[in-house]
Amino acid sequence: MAKTIRETLLGTLVHGEEILESIRVSRSISQDKIPVGNIADKKVAALHPERLSLVVADVVDTGKNARIIRFAGADGYLPPFEAGQYINIFTEIDGVRTSRPYSISSSPRQRAYYEITVARTAEGFVSDYMIDKVQIGDRFSANGPAGVFRYQPVFHSKKSLYFAGGSGITPFMSMIREVMEAALDRDIVLLYGSRTPEAALYHDELAAYAEKHPNFKYHLVISEPAEGWQGETGFINAGLIARLVPDYAERTAYICGPQVMNDFCKKELESMGVPAKRIRREMFGARKDIQNEPGWPEGLTGNEVFRLTVGDRVIDARSGESILTALERAGVRVNVCCRSGECSLCRVKLVSGNVFLARGMLRRYADEQYGYIHSCKAYPIGDVVIQL
């Protein structure tokens, strides 16, 4: 029988012939899983399809400028996920094909539906659409579940300290629901920062869990309290953490909320001696006011329009918008998932020109060496040529 490329290559190794003999023997007595059409790959692909087909099964108006949307699998199947992960939902709005990641807030212990909660954003694009236009029965495609913002039993303490700001409560809802509903042996303290008590999402459910479960403590911290508010006020700072969570040093901290809050809480924890490896963070995408990011070039306002050349196309690109958004506006499709610099799917090669690279871009060494950038975190600060 003719040798396969793999067999020919193996044969060139010092012990190649012995290895080939072992393969021949194993094949004669059992099925060799490797060459038989990648059975393992097929099973993984069936459990975790590259694209999900979702159908909106339910929508709930929270009355708090946010909407809960529950997605069922269009073919009845939803892949397993870990509490804290997100799905990236594709939309087509006014002819623009784009996507946004949303954390799953339902418990991973039930997979009849994935629940997400979309908060309204100032000058929002997809969030407005999800809140105002989406109806039961609408279909979407998505990728994921993905993301590493989750409890990792090997590395993390069983005692957790959650810092949530605004809609940043969503991944924590999934984590809290799982621990409470499955009575897991874990201990959670949640510090939830909200402008007003009325704006706090899931408040009643969280208060009910805290009432019932001694391993869950919940503190709502209000930054703009009305007269008569009896609870915690101000920002979540070192003093408040030390007072409400005296055993903070034994806990793994997780932060999810607006970038300013995220950075602030991290600094406060560091000032209390909490090492970086004990602080896990989730970024809800790139900041809108990118011109206020440290290192942004002086003199640029974010409104300058530059030429972005890709292949034979020249696109207008605003300095305050990522290269990914400029490409999507022009109808150019780019692979995408996290939109926050982590997954590297949106990589493009920077052929020439200058870009501003926002913090949080997890670029591989080889990408740096060969000039690849993550387009979701790269902003044009001059005319730019890229290659997809």
Ligand X SMILES: Cc1cc2nc3c(=O)[nH]c(=O)nc-3n(C[C@H](O)[C@H](O)[C@H](O)COP(=O)(O)OP(=O)(O)OC[C@H]3O[C@@H](n4cnc5c(N)ncnc54)[C@H](O)[C@@H]3O)c2cc1C
- As measured in angstroms, the least distance from the Cβ of 229 to ligand FES is 39
Phi, psi of 16 (to 5 degrees): -55, -45
Q: CA angle at residue 361 from 99 to 160, to 5 degrees?
A: 85
Task: Please answer whether residues 102 and 118 qualify as being in contact, where contact means their C-beta atoms are separated by less than 8 angstroms.
Answer: yes
- As measured in angstroms, the least distance from the Cβ of 146 to ligand FES is 9
Chain residues 347-376 in contact with ligand FES, contact rule CB under 6 A: 374, 376
Of ligand X, ligand FES, none, which one does residue 259 interact with (CB within 5 to 8 Å by kind)?
none
For the chain, how big is the Rg over CA atoms in Å? 24
Q: Which one among 206, 220, 343, 355 touches ligand FES, defined by CB under 6 A?
A: 343
Contact between 344 and ligand FES by CB under 6 A: the answer reads yes
Q: Which one among 52, 142, 326, 338 touches ligand FES, defined by CB under 6 A?
A: 338
Contact between 341 and ligand FES by CB under 6 A: the answer reads yes
Residue 111 and residue 48: Cα distance in Å, rounded?
A: 13
Hey, how many other C-beta atoms are within 10 angstroms of the C-beta on 356?
20
- As measured in angstroms, the least distance from the Cβ of 133 to ligand FES is 24
Residue 376 and residue 327: Cα distance in Å, rounded?
A: 10
- As measured in angstroms, the least distance from the Cβ of 60 to ligand FES is 29
- As measured in angstroms, the least distance from the Cβ of 83 to ligand FES is 21
- As measured in angstroms, the least distance from the Cβ of 117 to ligand X is 6
Q: Which one among 55, 249, 345, 385 touches ligand FES, defined by CB under 6 A?
A: 345
Q: Of 134 and 334, which has the nearer Cβ to ligand FES?
A: 334
Six token digits for residue 312: 């034979």
Q: Of 147 and 165, which has the nearer Cβ to ligand FES?
A: 147
SS3 content of the chain, % helix, strand, coil (to 5): 30, 30, 40
Hey, how many other C-beta atoms are within 10 angstroms of the C-beta on 364?
11
Contact between 126 and ligand FES by CB under 6 A: the answer reads no
- Which residues contribute to the site for ligand X (CB under 6 A)? 86, 94, 96, 98, 100-103, 116-119, 121, 124-128, 147, 167, 170, 282-285, 288, 321, 325, 328-329, 338-340
- As measured in angstroms, the least distance from the Cβ of 343 to ligand FES is 3
Task: Please answer whether residues 192 and 167 qualify as being in contact, where contact means their C-beta atoms are separated by less than 8 angstroms.
Answer: no
Six token digits for residue 67: 């909407």
Q: Of 10 and 361, which has the nearer Cβ to ligand X?
A: 361
Residues 6+ apart with CB under 8 A from 282: 84, 103, 147, 149, 168, 171, 254, 255, 256
Contact between 82 and ligand FES by CB under 6 A: the answer reads no
Six token digits for residue 107: 């418990």
Residue 201 and residue 294: Cα distance in Å, rounded?
A: 31
Of ligand X, ligand FES, none, which one does residue 125 interact with (CB within 5 to 8 Å by kind)?
ligand X
Residue 249 and residue 265: Cα distance in Å, rounded?
A: 15
| Binding-residue total with ligand FES (CB under 6 A) | 12
Q: Of 203 and 213, which has the nearer Cβ to ligand X?
A: 203
Q: Which residues bind ligand FES (CB under 6 A)?
A: 336-339, 341-346, 374, 376
